[in-house]
Chains A and B, each alone.
Chain A
Amino acid sequence: MRVLKLMLKNALRHKLRTMLTILGISVAVVAFSFLRTVVTAWYAGVEASSPNRLITRNAVSFIFPLPLAYRDQIARIEGVETVTFMNWFQGVYIDKNQFFPRMAVDAQTALDAYPEFLVPPDQRETFLKERNACIVGADLAQQYNFKIGDVIPIEGDIYPGKWEFVVRAIYQPRDKTVDGTQMWFHWQYLDERMRQEMPGRAGKVGWYVIRIKNPAEAGRISEQVDALFKNSRAETKTETEAAFQQGFIQGTGLIIQLLNFLSFVIIGIIMLVLGNTMIMSARERTKEYAVLKTLGFSAGHLTALIAGESLIISIIGATLGLLLSYPVVDLFSLMVPKSWFPIFYIEPETIVLGATAALVVAIAAALFPIQRALRTSIVEGLRFVG
């Protein structure tokens, strides 16, 4: 207890220096947590992917559609539970800066394929009944203050014309890893209009989502799906949902790697800040360590004393930084449109990583001062003039 008290008193001997070191560590930990959260948010789609969902798209490119007729053939493959399909609608709501995913879906099967979208039964029923109904995520509803019965007017671009959708359901994401910013409406509503206005684009779907019974069979089923349409006018490429999502962020891989690298550079900065403080502190106390050795304090005692002081400073700084990370991430989340980072929260792994890094850095920062304190003989230490 007394030794702990001595560590604390030593840590607070130069209050300003210690406070600045703690502040430096806190700021670095906030930056670390924030960058890690951005990286995590980038991969959120991949992480949130379901292992028992496969995506079948046009083999040439995602932007080319597939015939609706493929649905029944896919559904007959052994191990397939549900087949649904979607079209990327896009369009402009208010202005081009108001981005959120808008998709035409086969409503009944899509809700079955995405059980993580929790919809109240009465709203689900109304949504399924009305042709121009739409369902929006709770986060999206909160962002634009959408309520049941509201009409969302959208200016079409991929599918030209003026479109209106009536909000009939609001889904709640099952947990915070699920995107709550999507808007779905009936594919049939889109297809009917295409039949009238652009018949060549009718009966086409953007991609199929295949819910399978056993994730272990993903490889076999993917091969079977693609084999079905080989040498057809629209060959397919089937992959797991995770691989499909990964494809979207592949182009940004370098930026993510850079952010990742920067987050670890920050760990290095923490080490330099703390290491500098510990080296100065230990140097100033060279004589005191010699006195403690004279009194019979062993190498182990001195190691504990120096490492303990380093740990105290690092733990206070890291705790403060990790606590501050939450409001900083929340503030950032409020400042940018929700659809930029639909899933943006500090993962427990980030906290564990931050805390572990702080502990490792504390020990590393104490190594040189410990080595110096132990290497200096008592006689040299007693003669030391700081």
Chain B
Amino acid sequence: MGSLIEVKNVSKSYWRDSFEIPVLNNISLSVAEGEFLGLMGPSGSGKTTLLNLIAGIDRPNKGSVVVGGTDITSLNESQLAKWRSNHVGFIFQFYNLIPVLTAFENVELPLLLTPLSKKERRQHVETALSVVGLADRMHHYPKQLSGGQEQRVAIARAIVTDPTILVADEPTGDLDKKSAEEILTLLERLNTEFKKTIVMVTHDPRAAEKAHLVRHLDKGELQ
């Protein structure tokens, strides 16, 4: 299979007051289409920063990130927003659902940016919620769901637009063991059954076991 994600010679640093803090140092990484890549490493190693660069929510100081043939580092903010809506499904550690919207409405959010009709949107949302096993909870609000269920709604939101890649930042970091296992099984299923390319940052060795390939980051460098 061809390479879907190409990270080339990427460096990234942040500024805290007048101090420059280097986070990634000349990283290069290639992720094949249909891959399930796990990124591991200690806190502060740059895992989340690398994930953010791949997802197009942050920009490198140096180097390029090419996803599906598009050099996303060359896109302006509005082009990048449009690109993210079409190509990236993001799964956060703390779910980040909108509390005033139901599960259905949360999953529908990314579809509001598409030209789909209301009926088509409904079909897509129902399908996505069925995939994550929450079709019967679509009218529940986040506060009426357990942590595991909230994360499944977040996954439904990530897959509802059928994105090119799924990026997950510590998706089991806030869950109990059982819920974490269910989420990992779901991600594995999305990879094997629906052929989704997944990049997952995790601390959890059991989570990493689900990935086909695990890369370790330490002090801003890939091991």
Residues of A within 8 A of B (CB): 1-3, 5-6, 9-10, 12-13, 287-288, 291-299, 301, 377-379, 382
Contacts and interface: CB of A to CB of B under 8 A. Distances in A.
Interface stretch (B94-102, B182-190, B211-219): B94-102
A379 B88 CA distance: 16
B109 A13 contact: no
B26 to A, nearest CB: 20
A258 to B, nearest CB: 44
B105 interface: yes
B179 interface: no
A298 B98 contact: no
B84 A294 contact: yes
Given A298-B81, A377-B58, A2 B112 contact: yes
Contacts of B83: 296
Contacts of A382: 57, 92, 96
Contacts of A291: 92, 96, 98
B100 A13 contact: yes
Contact of A10 (B82, B85, B100): B100
Given A13-B99, A288-B98, A291-B92, 16 more contacts: A1-B118, A2-B112, A6-B105, A10-B100, A13-B100, A291-B98, A294-B57, A294-B88, A295-B85, A296-B84, A296-B85, A296-B110, A296-B113, A299-B77, A301-B113, A379-B57
Interface string B46-61: 0000001001011000
B55 A2 contact: no
Given A288-B98, A296-B82, A378 B57 contact: yes
B100 A298 contact: no
B223 interface: no
B169 to A, nearest CB: 9
A193 to B, nearest CB: 80
Contact of B52 (A3, A6, A379): A379
Contacts of B55: 294
A288 to B, nearest CB: 6
Nearest to A374: B77
B112 A287 contact: no
Given A6-B101, A291-B92, A299 B57 contact: no
30 contacts: A2-B108, A3-B112, A6-B98, A6-B100, A6-B105, A9-B100, A287-B96, A288-B96, A291-B92, A291-B96, A293-B57, A294-B55, A294-B84, A294-B88, A295-B110, A296-B82, A296-B83, A296-B84, A296-B110, A297-B81, A298-B81, A298-B82, A299-B78, A301-B113, A377-B58, A378-B58, A379-B57, A379-B58, A382-B57, A382-B96
